[in-house]
């Protein structure tokens, strides 16, 4: 019977909890992967972090700043014209879009700050604490049920609390395609 040990990848990219989100994005992009286990100093698995967590963070940050251009546009000179402070209609799209030759409304816009959520937050701020672990001896049927039930694409394989490998939905598909399942 095929087990998780037979399918898992043992050359696993992992990150520490203190890794910045920006560094995490570089690690994922460079390795061409979508998620990694988060490990402590002694190799214990603390959680899992994925590109979905980064996208969620970016969306939350964008949503938090959606009103900013509108606030700056009210009563601010744009290309020599004064915005109408009486116009408080939220459906007016002109407040959201500026002409191409309009100056930036705030001098700090467009300047690389270096300190944004991607730099300030760490992996520990956005990771999912580990609940998606399997033992080396779990069968492939158990693995498949585990992934489907959890609606996840990767499971961390542990032994005595320490990272042994990772198994993904792609590993299962590869085994199917190779005729091992």
pLDDT for the residue numbered 17: 95
Structural domain spans, the chain: 4-57+118-177
At 90 the pLDDT is 47
* Whole-number Å distance between alpha carbons of 20 and 125: 9
Q: Are 26 and 163 a contacting pair, CB within 8 Å?
A: no
pLDDT at position 103? 43
- Architecture field, domain 4-57+118-177: Roll (3.10)
**pLDDT tens for the 181 residues of the chain, in order:** 899 999 999 999 999 999 999 999 999 999 999 999 999 998 899 999 999 999 888 887 765 554 444 333 444 444 444 445 555 544 444 444 444 444 444 444 333 445 566 778 899 999 998 777 899 999 999 999 999 998 888 899 999 888 999 999 999 999 999 998 8
Please give the pLDDT value at position 120.
84
179: region left, alpha or beta (phi > 0 left; psi from -120 to 50 alpha) = left
Give the closest residue to 69 by CA, choosing from 113, 102, 101, 117: 102
**pLDDT value, residue 63:** 59
């Amino acid at each position: 019977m095929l087990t998780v040990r037979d399918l898992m990848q043992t050359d696993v990219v992992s990150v520490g909890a203190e890794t910045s989100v920006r560094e995490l994005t570089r690690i994922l992009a460079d390795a061409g992967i979508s998620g990694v286990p988060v490990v402590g100093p002694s190799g214990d698995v603390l959680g899992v972090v994925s590109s979905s967590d980064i996208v969620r963070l970016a969306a939350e940050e964008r949503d938090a700043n959606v009103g900013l251009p509108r606030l700056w546009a009210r009563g601010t000179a744009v290309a020599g014209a004064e915005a109408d402070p009486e116009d408080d209609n939220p459906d007016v799209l002109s407040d959201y879009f500026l002409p191409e030759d309009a100056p930036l409304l705030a001098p700090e816009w467009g300047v690389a700050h270096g300190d944004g959520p991607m730099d300030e937050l760490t992996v520990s701020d956005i990771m999912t604490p580990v609940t998606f672990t399997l033992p080396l001896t779990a069968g492939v049927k158990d693995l498949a049920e585990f992934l489907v039930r959890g609606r996840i694409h990767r499971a961390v394989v542990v032994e005595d609390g320490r990272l042994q490998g990772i198994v993904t939905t792609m590993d299962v598909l590869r085994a199917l395609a190779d005729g091992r399942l």
